[in-house]
Each structure stands twice: as C-alpha cells, then as structure tokens.
Structure 1
C-alpha cells in the first residue's frame, strides 16, 4: 500500500498538494493540522499527540501532510514516498498571507473544528525562520532514507505537475 508523506514549511502548499495526490491516487487523506488542533486551537499533550500520530501512521494507506518534526520518527519509517516542498521562504510567506486573507474569520477544511483563520505575527516569524531552523534537519533525515524510500524534493511549485505524474505512474508499483 502507498503511504505518501508531504512535508515542508507552512505556506509551501503541503495541504493542497496532499489533497491533489490523494484524489489522483484514490488514497485516504490525513491533514495533521486537522488532527492536532482541537476546537479554538487547543493543542494535545506531547504524549497524546505521539499516540495519535502512531495510530494514523499505522493505517495501511494514506497521503499525510504536515511537518511536526517531533513525530518524524513515527511517520517517516512508514512512508513509501516522501515529498519535501523546499520552497523559498518569501514564497511561503506569500502563501500564508494569501491563505489568511482568503480565509480570515473562517474555518479551513485542513484545520480542526473551531480553528478560525487569523493573522498571527509569531506564526509569520516561524515561517520566516523555518529554513534556518528546519532545513538542515530535514535534509539530513532524507539523506539517510534515499536507499529505502522514494524521496522527492521540490524547490518550486512549477515542479508539482511532474511530481504528480510520476507518483501516478508508480500507482501499481507500490
């Protein structure tokens, strides 16, 4: 069975890409933000979150989007394919700003119930610092896995159609 993990900075397009891949390959879709955040942005304890992620990752097939590097050790070994959207920070900031403007005051489908879209400066700072904080860690993780799993690193959204075509071509192989 296929298990495709989509990771990258907030605003990179993980949720949109994961939804498109899940639709094209007819696989269950798991948005980790929807699973993580409870009503009004309530967050689970670390132990509760790890247990939840272990349950989700144990499913036979999925497309899962979300970074949550504290659970890479649970999810990455289960993934048959890993897609890293290594998109420039300015593009991710633009993506977040556009998403907030488009959905402000509403609940998005990829978030938990009651999580109303809002603007948050601390979140914007996290997006800006993401490459400095996470890029090296993610690159080292993926370097260790290339022999066992298919890894796709996309540095531009223009690479997405080719990725989708390649994933579809592996439909029967996995």
Structure 2
C-alpha cells in the first residue's frame, strides 16, 4: 500500500480515517479540500488544481483524501488501494454537523454552519456521486478495494 485513495460522502469520516492511516503508515497525506479551497473561501482554478494534483500523483507514495469526481479517474489510474466509506446518509449528516465549529487540518477555514447547499450535497451524494465512484470501482477492480458500510467497520479496520 503506497498510493491510497480515500473516498466517501462528506461527514463519513474520510479525513479522520486518512489521518489514522497516515499515522500508521507514514505515507504523506493530501487533502483535496486544502488544495482546492483558499482560506478566504474562494477556490483556485481547475488548471491550478489539476497541476497540483498531477504533481502529487507522480510521487512514489501518498494518501489522497477527497472525491472531486472530475479528477477521480486520474487518481484511480495511479493508486494501488482504495478505501470507500460508503456510510448511510444519516451518519454522514450527523458527522458533518458534529464537526461544525472545530478547527480541522483538512479545511482552510472553520465551518460555522451546515449550509443548505452543503446539506443537499450530502443528502444527494448517493444519487449524484456514488454511481461514478462505483463505476470506477468496477473499472479498476484490480486495485485493492476496501468498502466500509458503517463507522464500526471503519473503526475496526487495522
């Protein structure tokens, strides 16, 4: 395990799992949200994002935390392991709500509320995002793929 993707709905616990995996393996960890978002809540351009991501995936080792469907295939091509936190929507909503007001190393600002837009993204994640993730999982079935369906499974993984 040298090049790892961590995917799942916001609030599923991707970043927490990514940190534990980083601490266990010593692999460098990259949060796509930290690349895409600026502290002033604006974003970099798609071209800048793609260039930074391309530099990361050229490295010998990495953990990449985040979905960003537009760049999913380029990461799948290069990874050897995928962790997909496919948790129920209710669990993800609770996870997202519980982190409000917390400082996090995976976001360049502190969330003050769960906006209606973000809540809708979480609610619609299984409809809008999971089909593409599942397509990549089928296409790249030769990768080491671990799918978690509950927090208990995530916590039990060694």
Q: TM-score, normalised by structure 2?
A: 0.93
Structure 1 residue ranges without an equivalent (≥5): 166-174
Deviation at 1:162, TM superposition (A): 4.2
Are residues 162 and 146 of structure 1, via their aligned partners in 2, closer, same or farther at CA, if it must alter by over 3 Å?
Answer: farther
- Give the corresponding residue for 1:87: 87
Contact 1:15 1:110 in 2 (8 A): yes
SS at match of 2:30: strand
**Alignment correspondent of 1:124:** 119
Which portions of structure 1, spanning 4 or more consecutive aligned residues, are displaced by more than 4 angstroms?
Answer: none
Name the residue aligned to 2:21: 21
| 1:23-46, Cα deviation, whole Å (9 max, x unpaired) | 001111111111111121111111
| Aligned counterparts, 1:101-116, within 5 A | 102-103=101-102, 107-112=103-108, 115-116=109-110
* Match 1:138 to one of 133, 136, 158: 133
Q: Which residue of 1 aligns with 2:153?
A: 159
8 Å contact from structure 1 (residues 28, 62) kept in 2: yes
Corresponding pairs, count: 157
Q: Alpha-carbon deviations, 1:109-154, whole Å to 9, x = none? A: 1112xx231211111111111111011111111011112x101111
Say whether the 8 Å CA contact 2:29–2:62 is kept in structure 1.
yes
2:58 is matched with 58
Given that residues 4 and 63 in structure 2 are in contact (C-alpha distance below 8 angstroms), is that contact kept between their aligned partners in structure 1?
yes
Shift of 1:73: 2.1
In 2, are the aligned partners of 1:28 and 1:63 still within 8 Å (CA)?
A: yes
Partner residue in 2 for 1:172:
none
Hey, what's the Cα distance between the residues in 2 that align with 1:25 and 1:12?
21
In 1, Cα distance between equivalents of 2:156 and 2:79: 20
Partner SS for 1:140:
helix
- For the residue of structure 1 that corresponds to 2:44, the secondary structure is coil
Measured in 2, the distance between the counterparts of 1:60 and 1:82 equals 16
When Rg is computed on C-alpha atoms for both structures, the one with the higher figure is: 1
TM, length-normalised to structure 1: 0.85
